[in-house]
Structure formats: C-alpha cells, structure tokens
C-alpha cells in the first residue's frame, strides 16, 4: 500500500490529496528520509508524520484494506511518539476562553 493511502486510511489526513501533499512537503519520513507519496509501506516500518507542529512516530502493525473507523486505528499502527514531543508545544497557554470552553 502507498504511504499516502496508508495515512489516509489511518485518519491522519482527511483526504489522500492532503496526505500526498504532506509527503511532497517533507512532513512524512521513514527514519530521516523524506519519502514520496508512492512509497510502499510494509509491516514493521517506522514512520514519522508531522501534524499540528508535532512529529508523530508510528510503527506499522498491519495494512488496512480501506479507511478505518477511529476505534480501529490502533490495530494497524503502534504509536511510539515520545511524551517529550507533546511537552515542547505550549498547550497550557492556548486555553479556550470563550463562553463555550471554560477552564475548570
């Protein structure tokens, strides 16, 4: 399966076009190598995806046949993103202060 199709199936991107564009812009890597959208994904591959200013790291467990429901994503990938990656972004300063989202 192609990497752009794999990322679309696992719901990292809303469309294959967005996944393909992310590959072309260097937001998808195998190790430290930037990959083309047509790169084949195999079981056991380590993939890095940059989304929302965070490099998400994942290991391919299996190849899905089609787009998955959100609850089934963990069957096909193992999230190996270190917790430090989430600490680098200052989420605490971006609190919702509108009337609908209040910090309790």
pLDDT in tens, 80-91: 988 887 776 655
Q: Inform me whether the pLDDT recorded for 57 exceeds 70.
A: yes
Q: How many CA atoms lie within 13 A of 20 on its CB side?
A: 6
How many angstroms separate the CA atoms of 75 and 80, rounded? Answer: 14
Q: Inform me whether the pLDDT recorded for 46 exceeds 70.
A: yes
The values of phi and psi at residue 28, to 5°, are: -125, 130
3-class SS of residue 90:
coil
* Cβ 40 vs Cβ 23: under 8 Å: no
Question: Two tokens at 54?
Answer: 């965070």
Is pTM beyond 0.85? Reply is: no
3-class SS of residue 80:
coil
For 12-26, what is the mean pLDDT? Answer: 95
């Amino acid at each position: 399966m192609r990497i752009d199709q794999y990322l679309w199936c696992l719901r990292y991107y809303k469309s294959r076009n967005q996944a393909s564009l992310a590959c072309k812009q260097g937001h998808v890597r195998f190790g430290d190598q930037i990959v083309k959208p047509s790169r084949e994904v195999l079981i056991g591959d380590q993939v890095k995806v940059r989304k929302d200013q965070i490099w998400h790291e994942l290991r391919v467990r299996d190849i899905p046949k089609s787009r998955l429901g959100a609850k089934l994503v963990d069957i096909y990938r193992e999230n190996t993103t270190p917790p430090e990656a989430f600490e680098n972004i200052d989420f605490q300063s971006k609190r919702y202060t509108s009337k609908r989202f209040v910090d309790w």
